[in-house]
Structure 1
C-alpha cells in the first residue's frame, strides 16, 4: 500500500523554505539603455598584459599522425587579450561567443585555426594581442611488443598561440607530458640481481619556429622524444610474453632522471623546427618516499 502525505503546492513549498517574489526594479532591462562600465574611458593607471577567462571546457577535434587519426576530445581553454590603459575592462562574453562560433563550425586544434581564432579575438576585443591556451588528453594506439595486442594510451598535450596585431605574427608553443618506465642504474650496478624501477613522467615544452609549424605532428614527435629515451614504454595491454620483453628492455636501458632529461634534450635540439625547449623528468621512486626530478631549459637563439 502506498503511503500518502499531504504536500502543499510547489510554489507554497518554495515560499515556506525562504523564496520571495521578485522586486519591482527601476533599472533598465534593454541592453542599449544599460550602462557599460567596461567601455567607460578614463586613465586606469596601467595597461594589462592579459585578461580573460580560464578553465573553460569544450569539445574539440584533434588530428593525429597516430591512430585514431581523427578524434574528439574535451579541451580546457584559457582565452585572454591585452587591455590598454584607457579601458576599464573587456567584454568577456565575447570570448565564449567566439568559442561557440568556432565549435559550431567544427573546431579543429590546428595551428591554422588557432591563429585565425586569436587574430579574430584581438579584433573583436579591439586589443593589440590575444592568446589561446588549450590543454587536452591526446589518445593513441599502442601495440604490445610481442603479441601486438592493441590498446589506447593517452598523453596530456597543450598548445598556446599568441597573436600580435603590431606585427601580424603569432608565437606558437606546444607541450606534452608522457608517462614512462625508468630503471635505476645504481640499483642495477650494486645488486646481485634485479633492480628497482618506477613510473616516470616526462614533461616537454617547446617554442616552434613559426614558418615550420605545419611540417610535423608535434604531438607524435614529443611523445617519441620522451618514450624512445626511457628504459621502457608503458602499455595498456600486456600478456606474459609482452611483459617479459618490457621487463628485459628496461633492464637493458637503465636511466637516471639526469640521463632522461639530457637524452630528450638532445632529440629536441636536433629538431630544426624547435626554437627553444624545456624538459623535466619526475620519477615516482619505488623504494623512496620522495620523487626524483631533473630539468633542462635551452634556447637556440
Structure 2
C-alpha cells in the first residue's frame, strides 16, 4: 500500500513537534518506598518532523506507549521511551510529557487518622539523537494560607483560604528528587498543610496552626524559593503560588523562575 506520509513535502517548513496528545493510559510510577503506584496518565509524545516529510506515523507513537504502560516508569524508563521513539520514528529529536494524579497517605495531626490526598504531577523530557536525555518534573500542592494583614487589623479572627503552589524543576544528570520529598518540602511553606480527613480536634489544630503562621502569597513563594535553593544540584526551577481568595472575587498570584549557575561556598 502506498505510504502518503513518506512522500516529500514541497512547502519547506519543518515542524518542531508532531505526534499524539491526550493519550490516556495506565502507568506504573516508582515510589520512594520501592513499591509501584498505578496511575492514570495523560501523555503527549512528539518528534521533530523535517521539512521534506509530509507526515509522521501516528500509530507508532501509540505502539510505543502501549508497550510501556505496564512497566515501572522513572528517569531511566523515560530515556528508553524517547530512545525507542527516535529510532522507530526516524527522528532527530523527541519530546515526552506525562501528567498524572499521585496519591500520598496523610495522617491527621491529632486524631492520627489516615487518608489519601491527590497531587497533580508532571514528568517532561526531551532527547536529541546522539545526546543525553533532558528531564524535568513538576508537582502541584494544595495548602492553607492565612492573611497577615487580616490578622493584624481584625479584633478577632482572620480570613484564610486554600491555595495551590506548583514547582517545576530540573536537576543535574544523575540526580533525582522523589515526589514524596518534594511534596513535604512544599507543604512546609504554607500557613498549614491540607488533610482530607479531619476530626474536630484536628480542625482545631489546623485552624490555630494557620493563625499562628500567617503568610501572604508572596511569603509562601519566597519561602518556597529558599527551600528549593537548599536542594542539591538543581539547575533550574519555576514556582507559582495562587491563593483562591475567600474575601475577593479574584485570586492572589505570584511566580518566580531561576537558573542556578553556582552556589555560594559554605
With the length of structure 1 as denominator, give the TM-score of the two structures.
0.84
Q: How far apart, CA to CA, are the structure 2 residues paired with 1:221 and 1:259?
A: 21
Give the root-mean-square deviation of aligned CA atoms. 1.4
- SS of equivalent residue, structure 2 residue 192: coil
- SS of equivalent residue, structure 2 residue 72: coil
1:116 aligned to 2:49?
no
1:138 aligned to 2:138?
no
Q: How far apart, CA to CA, are the structure 1 residues paired with 2:72 and 2:234?
A: 22
Work out which of the residue numbers 169, 174, 179 in structure 2 matches 1:206.
Answer: 169
Q: Which residue of 2 aligns with 1:280?
A: 240
Conservation of the 8 A alpha-carbon contact between 1:172 and 1:209:
no
- Quote the offset at 1:198 in angstroms: 0.1
Structure 1: 5+ residue stretches without partners: 1-33
1:59 aligned to 2:23?
no
1:181-229: CA deviations, max 9, x gaps? 000000001111110000000011112212213xx31x12321232101
Work out which of the residue numbers 136, 143, 154 in structure 2 matches 1:191.
Answer: 154
More strand per residue: 1 or 2? 2
Q: Which residue of 2 aligns with 1:177?
A: 140
1:43-85: CA deviations, max 9, x gaps? 441222111110000001122226x942211000001011112
The count of residues paired between Structure 1 and Structure 2 equals 261
Q: How far apart, CA to CA, are the structure 2 residues paired with 1:159 and 1:210?
A: 15
Please identify, of 174-183 and 41-50, the stretch whose mean Cα deviation from structure 2 is larger. Answer: 41-50
Conservation of the 8 A alpha-carbon contact between 1:278 and 1:296:
yes
Q: Which residue of 1 aligns with 2:264?
A: none
1:74 aligned to 2:40?
yes
Q: How far apart, CA to CA, are the structure 2 residues paired with 1:83 and 1:108?
A: 29
Conservation of the 8 A alpha-carbon contact between 1:181 and 1:250:
yes
Conservation of the 8 A alpha-carbon contact between 1:231 and 1:254:
yes
Structure 2: 5+ residue stretches without partners: 262-266
1:80-122: CA deviations, max 9, x gaps? 011112211111110001111222xx22221111110001101
1:14-49: CA deviations, max 9, x gaps? xxxxxxxxxxxxxxxxxxxx2211111344412221
1:249-295: CA deviations, max 9, x gaps? 10111110000111111111121232111111111100111110011
1:46 aligned to 2:13?
yes
Work out which of the residue numbers 51, 57, 60 in structure 2 matches 1:94.
Answer: 60
Q: Which residue of 1 aligns with 2:113?
A: 149
Q: How far apart, CA to CA, are the structure 2 residues paired with 1:211 and 1:83?
A: 29
- SS of equivalent residue, structure 1 residue 211: coil
Q: Which residue of 2 aligns with 1:36?
A: 3
Where does 1:239-250 land on structure 2 (aligned, <5 Å)?
Answer: 239-250=199-210
- SS of equivalent residue, structure 2 residue 124: strand
| Structure possessing the higher radius of gyration over alpha carbons | 1
Runs ≥4 residues deviating over 6 A: none
Work out which of the residue numbers 145, 170, 190 in structure 2 matches 1:230.
Answer: 190
Q: Which residue of 1 aligns with 2:254?
A: 294
Conservation of the 8 A alpha-carbon contact between 2:36 and 2:72:
no
- Quote the offset at 1:241 in angstroms: 1.3
